[in-house]
Amino acid sequence: MEKNKTGKYFKYAIGEIILVVIGILIALQINNWNQQRAQDKEEQSAILNLKQDFEFNYRTLDSVLSETKNNMVSQFILLNHTGNKSKNITREEFNFSLNRLADINEFFPRNGFLDDLINSGNLGIIKNQILRNKLSSWNSVFDYIKSRELELEKGRDRVTTMIIKKGSWLNADAVSTDQVVKNNTFPKSGFDIDNRNLLNELEFENNTENTIYQNDKLTQSHKKGLILITQILELLEKEVK
């Protein structure tokens, strides 16, 4: 102070403070940048995993939908020969369609990675809000598909019970293409039963109609699922870097 150097020291102190602040800001910026890089990397990993899972889900659900439609074709064949309608159908054709009447093609998706994100509260790593919303709605669509499968299963149980009482599963399985049946050797039925006699039963006609109705409801749920999966995949593709 005696030598009038106060101003110089003051300027020097201010300069030191500014340098320290700049250094802190640079360190914070680097830290934020590193955190952002880590988050981006985590998001990309999640996007790639989700993309693989939903590509699998699309292929699987599309296949299930096709098989369910094929079942309905065979089931309509039965419905077109009930009661006083023409019985111009062979035993083999009837037994093949009878197997399709009791068949349910279940959908088993890959939901593990998405469920982990949701249950852990980490779905927020997906920055695209529209994509997050679509992903959040997937489980409700899947649950609806399973509920339709359950309704179809109830109808299948009624058909199975009726065949057990009035028909022959051995005769029906003799024409089955089911690999589970092929891996077992069943003897011929010990009863001379023509399953086509079921066509004269009103209960059989009603059960067949109900099964077709439930299958139709199931295919509609499949289609809704495929639409949502397609939307999710399109959004995921845009986020891949």
Cβ 230 vs Cβ 58: under 8 Å:
yes
CB 34 within 8 A of CB 188: no
Residue ranges of domains in the chain: 6-239
Q: Which own/partner contact pairs does 10-18 have at CB distance under 8 Å and 24+ positions apart?
A: none
C-alpha torsion angle, residues 203, 67, 104, 227 (rounded to 10): -110
DSSP 63: H
8 Å CB contact between 71 and 105: yes
Query: In which band, very low, low, confident or very high, does the pLDDT at 184 lie, cut at 50, 70 and 90?
Result: low
Which residue carries 């980490």 as its tokens?
122
pLDDT of residue 5: 62
Q: What is the pLDDT of residues 23-52, one digit of tens each?
A: 778 877 776 676 667 777 889 999 999 999
Q: pLDDT at residue 6 above 90?
A: no
The answer to whether 165 and 193 are in contact (CB under 8 A) is: no
How many whole angstroms separate alpha carbon 168 and alpha carbon 22? 87
Of 129, 112, 104, 128, whose CA–CA distance to 57 is shortest? 112
User: Within 10 A of 73 (CB to CB), how many other CB atoms are there?
Assistant: 10
> How long is the chain?
241
Is the model more confident about 132 or about 188?
132
Identify the pLDDT of residue 154.
92
- Nearest CA-CA partner of 194 in 103, 93, 117: 93
pLDDT per residue as tens digits for the range 37-95: 777 788 999 999 999 999 999 999 999 999 999 999 999 999 999 999 998 999 999 99
Between CA 159 and CA 215 the distance in angstroms is 14
Write out pLDDT tens, residues 102-127.
Answer: 899 999 999 999 999 999 999 999 99
Average pLDDT, the chain: 89
DSSP code string of 187-230: PPPSS---GGGGGG-HHHHHHHHHHHHHHHHHHHHHHHHHHHHH
Lowest mean pLDDT among 12-16, 117-121, 151-155, 202-206: 12-16
pLDDT for 179 equals 42
Output the CA–CA distances (angstroms, integers) from residue 42 to 6, 91, 130, 161, in the order listed.
Answer: 54, 59, 19, 52
